[in-house]
Structure 1
Amino acid sequence: MDQQDKELRNDLIMWDRRRKLAVVQVVFHVVYWYMQRKYHLKKYVDHPINYLEREKVRIELMTKLKCIKYCRNITRMGPQAFQDLCHILERDGGQKPTKRATVEEQVAKCLYILSHSVKNRNVSFFFRRSGETDCIGALDGTHVRVKVSSKDVPRYRGKKGYPTQNVLVACSFDLKFTYVLPGWKGTASDSRIIKNALTREDKLKIPNGKFYLVDAGYMLRSSLIPPYRGVRYHLKEYSNHPPENARELFNHRHASLRNAIERAFGVLKKRFPIIASTIEPTYSVNTQSNIVIACCILHNFLMGVDPDENITAEVDKELENQCQTQQMTRAPRDTDKDAKQAKLIRNVIAATMWSDYVANQE
């Protein structure tokens, strides 16, 4: 073979490599463009991260992807192949870090979507940055005693044995209330109240792609994620028996986070015993409802300027000593598109948690 043939052969090999690289790059850009268009990732452009934060994200992500099992589960390739691909795309394909993501994160997201056929909102759980999360808090109901006429007592007498109003409350993880809906009769079910809260004029607003943690009595929605039913849940159940599968791990962490609403209730009622008393109040239901809202507003103010760690510690100790049993109220079965999407979201989160948990045990 003469020199001209060798050069021609080398040119053909180089052309073939560039063609394959171009295909990979086109696929990558199409997927990333689709993510931006369909899931409105543009809304984040105005909030750039600085170099140090970007480096922190890269280091955290690359540290996880150094584990062969974790890397293969996420990207369908080993750590070295993943690093080589990122390097080639950056060196020869012109791929660059953006204001919101490193090259490694962009490639890992793309590979995960291609390999697992999931949507961007499902991917964001474990690709989120510090300070960003899809889970924005916890939501539950609490009963507050009320004074009603004798004929209305049966409609207000719920599980407490005396007339109460069922108050729906949502809180963030800093124990501040983000939504309060008082006034429902004590016999009203949680599912009925939450449906009203999501549709009324002054409704509970949950940003697209975000969700609250709720107990097993609530319906499964993309914005309301309960634990898996029939699986160990409360923290004490895991004290001497660690999780054995993805669903148990999900429930364990779900309980740890959803505990925020119980803590918020506890602090609120210790600060303002008027809504914790089991003695029949002297106020009407409407007045008592307004009192609940006023106490929640004051609670939020005080949590910002005077949180009183002694009260919080006292509540935490009481919750730790409580012998809790999971509420197994039968939640309505939803079979619509949103419920199916919510099931997928929960399963993806659980599987990702378990993969990370197993990888870190090795």
Structure 2
Amino acid sequence: MTPKLSLRQLSKVYPGSEVAAVDRIDLDVQPGETLALLGSSGCGKSTTLNMIVGLEQPSSGDIQIDGQSIVATPAGKRNVGLVFQDYAVFTSMSVRQNLAFGLSVKGRPKAEIARAVAETAELLGMRDKLDARAQDLGGSELQRVAIGRTLVTRPSLLLLDEPLSNLETAARLAMRRELRRLQKEIGLTIVYVTHDQIEALSLADRIAVMSAGKIRQVEAATRIMDNPAHVFVASFLGDPPMTLIRGKVGGGVFRADGFALPLGDIPEGIVTLGLRPQALRLVAPGEGALTGRLSQVEPRGAEAALTLDCAGKAIRLLVPAQTRPVPGETCGLSIPEGALVAFDGDTNLRLPGAPHVAEAAR
């Protein structure tokens, strides 16, 4: 199947900068798929979107839609819809006028515009709001109008740039449900830019995690948190994310500034060791692989996030709230099979195999 969108070695270097904002990324998005570009501010995700829609010209590389390059195609002729975080709605117009605007600019017949506006309003659940002034709408309604203004033009590809970041929590949750419903009903191909991992995990089929202009990993939303392929992905995803400790393996022992852990199935050399918070377990002092002092307890409803100081390393873990200890207690830490991940110290890429605590395996 030909991907709906393909990026090939796509780069963007702004004049006067020695660092690429987007650095030779490759990405395929399949027809009908929702893919999230996830990363912190400045990672290159919005620049990537702007190049796809035509607001920025790539420094090198190619952008293809349905197998055809669009790099030389003007922005207005790419049939790509873009919705920004700031709604971009004409508040002096009615909902009907906002939805009709794009088709009116293209000179479409009035009957066609009226039919398309009615269909889009029905899809958005806003038929009773068509004659309302946009300035009288709430935040989630404004965002629905902004999305509708794009959908009414029947884009081949829909790009959403942090579309929910200006909404309050309740409105954000409602819009997530709306976006899932719209994607299911329309079957559009969507690229969704966000810094919010919860949004990415709840809305996307796959997630592409970006940092420093590079795509570090592309993986199914259901798998990416449990299978980080890069140190950055392990540090970025999860609440709390993995504890990452950089050290050296020699003689079957991982060491880092006084911290030591006997390991099996891991090559010697410099590695970064990742410990999954959800997999670690507190045990009695002297039991388990490590012993430490509890330095922080953060209640989170049914769970509590703990920080255990083990030989100067702060290790995070989650426990049921009713069993949480108190700060200052000395605790043992059990590290079951599957709780550890190892990354190459030079490339930051995940090493094959599943390292485990050697003592626990005997």
Structure 2-normalised TM-score? 0.25
Structure showing greater radius of gyration is: 1
Higher strand share: 2
More helix by share: 1
